[in-house]
Amino acid sequence: MKKTLLVSLLAVGFFNSCHNNEEIINDTPKQLEVHNKVVNVTNHDGKPFNTGNTNSQNGKFIAGPGGGVMMQGFYWDVPDGGIWWNTVKDKVTDWSNAGMSAIWLPPASKAQNGPYSMGYDPTDYYDFGNYNQNGTVETRFGSKTELEGLITKAHAENMQVYADIVLNHNSGGQSQANPFTGTNTWTDFSGVASGKFQRSYNEFYKNSYGNNDEGAFGGFPDLCHASPYVQNWLWEREDSVGKYYKNVMKFDGWRFDYVKGFGPWVVNTWNSNIGGFSVGELWDSNVNTLEWWANNANSSVFDFAAYYKMDEAFDNGNLNVLNDDMMWKRNPYKAVTFVANHDTDIINNKMLAYAYILTHEGYPTIFYRDYEEWLNKERLNNLIWIHNNKATGNTSILYTDNDEYIARRNGYNGNPGLVVYINNSSYWQERWIPTNWASQQIKDFTGHSSWYPTTQGDKWVKIQCPPKSYSAWSLNQ
C-alpha cells in the first residue's frame, strides 16, 4: 500500500501570521533554474543562499538522521589508460565532506576487452589489474594496488564502497568442442591467469542442468547458477568470488548487474553467505515486479518506477503522476532512487528530480557526471545536506497539480522533518499547507525563498516556491 496521503488544501478563511513575511506574488524572481543551469544563485532579496553546514566537524561522513547518499562513481566510457581509480580517490574526501556515505564502482575485474573494457564482459573475477591477460596488466580503471588504495581512502573517510558484480554472463573464454550444443563454444576459461574459478562448457547453459535459466545477455556464455561448482566458487568457498571481494578487497556491498538473467534466489543466497549491502538492477517500471524481486532476493532494488514517473512529471508537465505507486512507497528500505546512471539518462529537469529523491524516502544516488560536470554542485550539496539532516519520517503528499507538488516528511525521533515544494511552472507560486508544527518559525533551507513564516496554532502556514525550482521548509533551528 502507498505510504502517502493526499490532503486537499482549503486556503479560504486563513490569515497569514508569518513573521517577517513579504508578499511577492507579482515580484520578479532573482533566481531562476532553466535547463538545469542556475542563472543567478541568490535569494529573492539578492543575498547568497544558505546551503547549510555541508561539512562534518572532522571532515568525514557522519550519518545524519536522514541517512546517507550513494555516489555512482563512474559513467560509461570513463577515460581509459588506468587512471580512473586514482581520479575517484582524489574526490573521496570532498564527497565525504558533502555528506555522501558510499561509492558504487564499475566492475573491477579483468574483462575480455582488456584495457578498454568497462568491465561488463568479465573473464577473470580475481584479476583486478595484477595479471597480464587480455592484452593488459591493468584494467581500464587502473591496477589492483590503486583500487586497494581507493577503497582504503574511502574507508578512512567513513564511506562504504560497493562493487558492481556481473554474475549472468562471462566473456573472453577460448573455443572448445561442446557436446551439449554439437558445436564449438567460447566457454573454456581453464586458462584464467589467477587460476581461480576455472570454467568449461559444463558451467554454462545449455548443459546437463538444462537449456537456459531466466535469460541470456548479448550472446555471451550464460553462467549456470544451478551448478554446485559455480555456487561453490561464487559464494561458498573461503576464497569464493564473494568472500574474496569482501574479505580481501574489502568491498562493503554489491550492485548486481542484469538480475533479469537469473532467479532472485541467486542474490538471496549470495547475501546469506557474504553479507553487506546489495541492490539489483532490475530494469522494469512495474512496481509489483520490483517489490517481488526485492522480497525474494532479500535485497534493495533500483526504483525504475520512480525514475520513469519523474521523467513524466518534470519533463512532460504532469506532476500529478507523483501520486502514483513507486518502490520507495512500497518499501523505502529496499528502494534505491536515482535520476540518471551509466545506462540511461532521459530526465532533462534534473534539479527538480534530485530535489525529489533527496527529500523523499529511499536511498538516493547521485550520478558522477551530474555532480562533477553537468549540474550546480553547490545546489546538489545543499540538497544532500537537507536529505541527511531534515528528510526524516514517512511521507504525506499535501498537494499536486500539473505544475506543483508539495509533500511533507513527518519527522522521526525528535527530528522535525520537512516540507518540500516543487514548482515546474514559469511563475512564483504560494500555497497554504498543513504542517506538524504549531506556532513555530520555519525557513526554506534551500535559500530560494527569503520568507521566515510562523505556523499558525492549527499548524497551517503559507509557503512559496520559485519558478522551475524547489524549496524545502523546516523549523528554523
3-state SS, residue 307:
helix
The question of whether 281 is a catalytic residue gets the answer yes
Reference 19, options 468, 453, 470; nearest CA is: 453
CB-CB contact of 304 with 290 (8 Å) = yes
CB-CB contact of 268 with 298 (8 Å) = yes
168 assigned to a ligand binding site: yes
DSSP 343: S
What DSSP line would sit under 89-142, residue for residue? HTTHHHHHHHT--EEEPPP-SEETTGGG--SSSEEETT-SS-S-BTTBSS-SS-
Phi, psi for residue 279 in degrees, rounded to 5:
-145, 140
3-state SS, residue 313:
helix
The amino acid at residue 265 is W
3-state SS, residue 421:
strand
Q: Bridge-partner residues for 163, per DSSP?
A: 254
CB-CB contact of 347 with 465 (8 Å) = no
CB-CB contact of 279 with 258 (8 Å) = no
* Catalytic residue selected from 124, 188, 257, 291: 257
Q: Cβ neighbours of residue 133 under 8 Å, at least 6 residues apart?
A: 110, 114, 123, 124, 127, 192, 193
3-state SS, residue 201:
helix
Q: Which residue has the cell 581520479?
A: 87
61: left (phi over 0), alpha (psi -120 to 50) or beta: beta
* Catalytic residue selected from 157, 281, 403, 444: 281
**Spatial distance between the Cα atoms of 184 and 179, rounded to a whole number of angstroms:** 9
Sheet of strand 404-409: strand arrangement: 395-400, 404-409, 418-423, 469-475, 442-444
Residues recognised as catalytic = 257, 281
